[in-house]
Amino acid sequence: MTTYPLPVVGKRIEGPDAASLWLAVPQDLASAFSYRAGQFVAIETEIGGETLVRQYSLSSAPELDRDLRITVKKVPDGRVSSWLVDEVDKGDVLEVASPRGLFFKPHDGPRHVLLLAAGSGVAPMVPIARSLLEEGTGHAITFAYGNRTPESIILKDEVDALAGDPSVHVEHVLSRASDGWDGPRGRIDRDYLDAGLPAWAERSGLPPVAYLCGPEAFMDVAESALLLFGLGQSDIRRESFDLVLTDEDDEPPIPVTAASPGETGDCERISAVVGTEEVEVTPRPGESILDALLRVEAEVPFSCQEGTCSSCISKLTEGSAEVRSVVLKTLRQDDLDEGLVLACLSKPTSRFVRIDFDDI
Ligand SMILES: Cc1cc2nc3c(=O)[nH]c(=O)nc-3n(C[C@H](O)[C@H](O)[C@H](O)COP(=O)(O)OP(=O)(O)OC[C@H]3O[C@@H](n4cnc5c(N)ncnc54)[C@H](O)[C@@H]3O)c2cc1C
Ligand code: FES
């Protein structure tokens, strides 16, 4: 993974266990750090003699903010999150990889955009909302954000500022609110969504699309409520911050075919486009596309190697592959139909495969 040194030019504490850090991008790295709302960066650091790589969503909006910003919440005993929140400060330099990710996809017309977040899951939502408002294409936005207490709400001023626009409706949902709290109580769960979705739909009349970010359990519950309410799976996008997703596949692998499918059979050559480089490798039987490329030390973006971090999202531009079914936790069938895959979950099924890590 290629990283670049970016100076920290600002820091703000966001409540008891979170902080935002602003990172300046020098002019000569502007194209390496161009991004879409909702994308994330990977940060590499060494702690206790171990090299650690962690992903953080950009909480800045590409059209509106000069510097990049990440917003980090400490997890208990979390090494990198604690370091970023407690120790890193203005004047330090972080090793940062180019933005990646496919959480937000531009819409082809006005939609009712449901942003459902919990805890640090707010980070990609704020730029998505700000970018949509900047675009001014007639979307309605409902932003429901779950936390424990008023003090634990991250980026509260920015979320509340969104509600100043008549097309935006914001609800803070608190699970441990004090007596004075007059907003919704509890969690963004089945009951909350069953009660809210019909009213929200009536308010806008636009076709809905939902973005979910927070703990897996929260997203599973929210997704099933949205499906029951009538949204299609391709209208529900999820960004997972959790580390463990991929235990066993309970479904067979999913075939993915590029626009130019080529001849099926044992793969003789994988060609990977990364930046201006094109790397070639002959895969070993049963090897994933990512493993084959790492074996020849290709500088491809990756981290978890098990389908949880989204770093290795890439596009099959020639040939075919089969992808472990857990990919559907991150990508949707319509993404796969476009040839998008996670390289760490994909095995080639054609004699030649070309995969592009930048065309996402
Ligand atoms: C695409 C993507 C975007 C992300 N964006 C953000 C973001 O914007 N803001 C943010 O704060 N985090 C974000 N994360 C999570 C972040 O990458 C790290 O996983 C998190 O900061 C924990 O790393 P750590 O080194 O502090 O914890 P570690 O030292 O790796 O873990 C220490 C302990 O915490 C547990 N743990 C680790 N990670 C988590 C987790 N995510 N949730 C619950 N328990 C955990 C471990 O099981 C372990 O017990 C994102 C993750 C991904 C994949
Ligand atoms: S390397 Fe993390 S999803 Fe593939």
Q: Read off the pLDDT of residues 21-75 as tens digits, 9 standing for 90 and up.
A: 999 999 999 999 999 999 999 999 999 999 999 999 999 999 999 999 999 999 9
Round the average pLDDT of the chain to a whole number and report it: 93
User: Distance of CA 184 to CAs 69, 70, 220, Å?
Assistant: 29, 28, 21
Average pLDDT over every residue of 87-92: 98
Q: 75 alpha carbon to ligand 1 midpoint, in Å? A: 6
Looking at the CA of 1, name the nearest ligand.
2
How far apart are alpha carbons 265 and 351 in whole angstroms?
A: 5
Q: What is the pLDDT of residue 178?
A: 84
Residue 77 CB–ligand 1 contact under 6 Å? yes
Q: What is the pLDDT of residue 245?
A: 54
In ligand 1, which atom is closest to the CA atom of 215? Answer: 42
Q: 242 alpha carbon to ligand 1 midpoint, in Å? A: 6
Average pLDDT over every residue of 155-161: 96
Q: 120 alpha carbon to ligand 1 midpoint, in Å? A: 10
Average pLDDT over every residue of 338-358: 96
Please indicate, yes or no, whether the overall pTM of this predicted structure exceeds 0.85.
Answer: yes
Q: What is the pLDDT of residue 201?
A: 87
Q: What is the CATH superfamily name and number for domain 4-96?
A: Translation factors (2.40.30.10)
Are the CB atoms for 160 and 113 separated by under 8 Å?
Answer: no
Indicate the pLDDT class of residue 276, thresholds 50, 70 and 90: confident
Q: Indicate which residue's Cα is closest to atom 15 of ligand 1.
A: 241
pLDDT in tens, 105-153: 888 899 999 999 999 999 999 999 999 999 888 999 999 999 999 999 9
Q: 121 alpha carbon to ligand 1 midpoint, in Å? A: 11
Is 248 a residue whose pLDDT tops 70? Answer: no
**Residue boundaries of the structural domains of the chain:** 4-96, 112-240, 254-356
In ligand 1, which atom is closest to the CA atom of 72? Answer: 11
User: Distance of CA 213 to CAs 3, 65, 103, 123, Å?
Assistant: 26, 22, 9, 9
CB atoms near residue 207 (< 10 Å)? 14
Ligand 2 mutation pick, 54, 311, 324, 346, max ligand atoms within 8 A of CB: 311
Best CATH choice for the domain 112-240 from the list 3.60.21.70, 3.40.50.80, 3.40.190.10, 3.40.720.10: 3.40.50.80
Residue 143 CB–ligand 1 contact under 6 Å? no
Highest CATH level, class, for 254-356 = alpha beta
Q: What is the pLDDT of residue 170?
A: 96
